[in-house]
Chain A
Amino acid sequence: MIKVQREDFDIGAELASLTAGNTKIGGLATFVGLVRDLADQGAVAAMTLEHYPGMTERRLAEIEAEARSRWPLEGVLIIHRYGKLEPGDRIVLVATTSAHRQAALDSCAFLIDWLKTKAPFWKLEEGAKGAAWVEAKESDDRAADKWKR
């Protein structure tokens, strides 16, 4: 399931909902991304996340489908926020469930690595020196590349 939203999310409630009623699930893996207060350009006072409505949902659905084709998953949840956020705020939740832990853990890592290089989101950081668009990192490309087939 894909959710692209401005609002915050309740991790406990989302995970409870993802596993409710499915006793085939033996493992639940999660990744939560948060706004840090320190970036490459210095202290971050706020961050604004921009995205491409329509394309974002389609690319995330494609990434979910790819994960389901590679691992035997019971459930997939991706929540990604947009709009203005502050240090400590939650940005993204990726959660996967499976009968066994390895499929859940590996698919969760795969989803966040691919999301970071394929989903059309952009971060604008505001600090003491003004606002600056976050540059894409080569390390993120390498993280995504290791899942290529």
Chain B
Amino acid sequence: MKLLYFAWVRTNIGKAEEEVVAPDHVQTVEHLLDWLATLGPQYAAALDRRNVIKVAINHEYVEHDHPVRPDDEIALFPPVTGG
């Protein structure tokens, strides 16, 4: 799956995007966040405030219990602050 990071999720993780192959047990957004947080201290820091992280799959907002698929584009970001 293709992961995109924005704002402080991006600056904490240290990259804007990456292609990952998640383990089979990663079936939902929540599983994905749990798994990513184990990849290193920068991921753990970026995902520390887990409940405020917004998620979009293929440009659509989803909740943390939404399923994830290998061909998804999944974006993780803080609450938006435009306008």
Contact = CB atoms under 8 A, between A and B. Distances in A.
A122 B81 contact: yes
A124 B56 CA distance: 21
A91 B10 CA distance: 22
A112 B83 contact: yes
A112 B82 CA distance: 10
Contact of A118 (B6, B10, B11, B80): B80
B75 interface: yes
Contact of B80 (A33, A54, A121): A121
Interface stretch (A11-19, A68-76, A131-139): A131-139
B4 interface: yes
Nearest to B52: A136
Interface of B: 4, 6-8, 10-11, 56, 59, 61, 75, 77-83
A-B residue pairs, 9 tightest by C-beta: A121-B82, A136-B79, A122-B7, A116-B83, A55-B59, A134-B81, A133-B8, A123-B81, A58-B59
